[in-house]
Amino acid sequence: MAIATAPAVAEAGPLGDALQQLDAAIDVLGYDQGLHRLLARPRREMSVSIPLRRDDGSIEVLSGYRVQHNFSRGPAKGGLRFSPQVSLDEVRALAMWMTWKCALLDVPYGGAKGGITIDPTMYSTAELSRVTRRYTNEILPIIGPEKDIPAPDIGTDEQTMAWMMDTYSANVGYTVPAVVTGKPVSLGGSLGRPSATSRGVVHTALAALAYRGLVPARTSAAVQGFGKVGAGSARFLAEAGVRVVAVSDRYGAIHNAAGLDITALELHVATCGTVCGFGGAAEIDPDDLLTLDVDVLVPAAVEGVINLRNAHDIRASIVVEGANGPTTNDADAVLDDRGVLVVPDILANAGGVIVSYFEWVQGNQAYWWTADQVEKRLETRMLQGWRSVLETATRRGLTLRQAATVTAVSRVADAHLTRGLYP
């Protein structure tokens, strides 16, 4: 079978990394050029203009995107991001990673992602509601509980999903809870969904520690990012006995070699809006957090924070990717050469999409599970994924990222080949 030549890739950034990871998986699997091209390109993408009337009466026009990378295994699934850095290429990369994530954890979805180029901190709640509703109305033809199911991401939350659900439902004329996940429980959301990504990160972190023969009570961790994923990851690591010595957010970073009081820190952040100024720690340069002498590093913020500039200085023996694409491909090679175990994003942070799937199932059945049921099923799925990736990596002589991508790509390709090419 002919080996594919790589489709043109972006020179840099998340999309370039995503396409290069696909190229490597194709080389291992030996797929032909046609299948490679099909897997490299989104099946559908939409760019929209979002006119917004500001509270002062002025008009602003924002850019929004929704990319559906693949739906061979089921409806598309992926978050909606509000960030000044959102671009079409970033959304394309995130949608591709969602495809692999869903396939790797055997969730019956394809990958999608959405984004609006906006800094949500600069807009009122009323303005964000108008932006969300207009964006939802613009992408209405391509979303739905059997088509594409959005969820929260950076800069969005339960309230955003409630606005999306209400806008969609108003347009079709009846309430459709399953059109989005990550909703408030009062509107059909699932118990355990807000903390699901963080719990999944910690399940894989603890599995990686055990694989390396390390005991949580005698290990340390640093968490970059203290938002929805980072804060929960720090809390659950601490509850497992790991000494969390440093955390950071968009404003700065703090460090205490004896371990941070995460409960007190969360109260501080709830009051002050930042980790900075916390009395139980010293402030450090945020870049220095990534190179602290710890056992586990959890990058849980944005893409590309571990790169060629700092990869040689990473001292953690295990990196667990809470964010999407936090390690560039060049840095990944450096970490592998140095013996650092990297638990890839499409495995480590898959807890969110797993419990989103649980929420979608519950919404379609109008029957809700207990928090204990959700968390036990999440743990089972995460550990099954860990064992599958570890077995493939060992058998094929691959890194965990390579093994995860090969496994996921093969499952998506099998689904496509079984269905056939239409017409």
Catalytic residues: 113
Which 8-state DSSP code applies to residue 281?
S
Cα(254)–Cα(277) distance, integer angstroms:
8
Q: For residue 347, give every residue at least 6 positions away whose Cβ sits within 8 Å of its Cβ, in sequence order, or none.
A: 101, 104, 105, 204, 385, 386, 389, 400, 404
Q: Is the dihedral of CA 206, 210, 211, 214 positive or negative?
A: positive
- Count of helices and strands (H, E) across the chain: 14, 12
Cα(350)–Cα(358) distance, integer angstroms:
13
Query: What does DSSP say about strands 341-343 and 318-320: parallel, antiparallel, or unpaired?
Result: parallel
Task: Please name the residue ranges forming H helices in 338-399.
Answer: 345-348, 351-365, 371-396
Sheet order of strands, 59-68 included: 44-53, 59-68, 110-117, 76-83, 148-152
Residue 327: strand, helix, or coil: strand
64 strand-pairing partners: 48, 116
Q: For residue 94, give every residue at least 6 positions away whose Cβ sits within 8 Å of its Cβ, in sequence order, or none.
A: 14, 67, 78, 79, 81, 113, 115, 324, 325
Cα(156)–Cα(289) distance, integer angstroms:
26
Query: Cα–Cα distances in Å, from 272 out to 120, 225, 277, 278?
Result: 18, 16, 8, 9
Query: Nearest-CA neighbor of 181 among 171, 170, 192, 116?
Result: 192
Q: How many CB atoms lie within 10 A of CB 87?
A: 16
Cα(94)–Cα(170) distance, integer angstroms:
29
Which 8-state DSSP code applies to residue 15?
H
Which 8-state DSSP code applies to residue 299?
E
Cα(130)–Cα(238) distance, integer angstroms:
39
Contact predicate 205/198, CB 8 Å: no
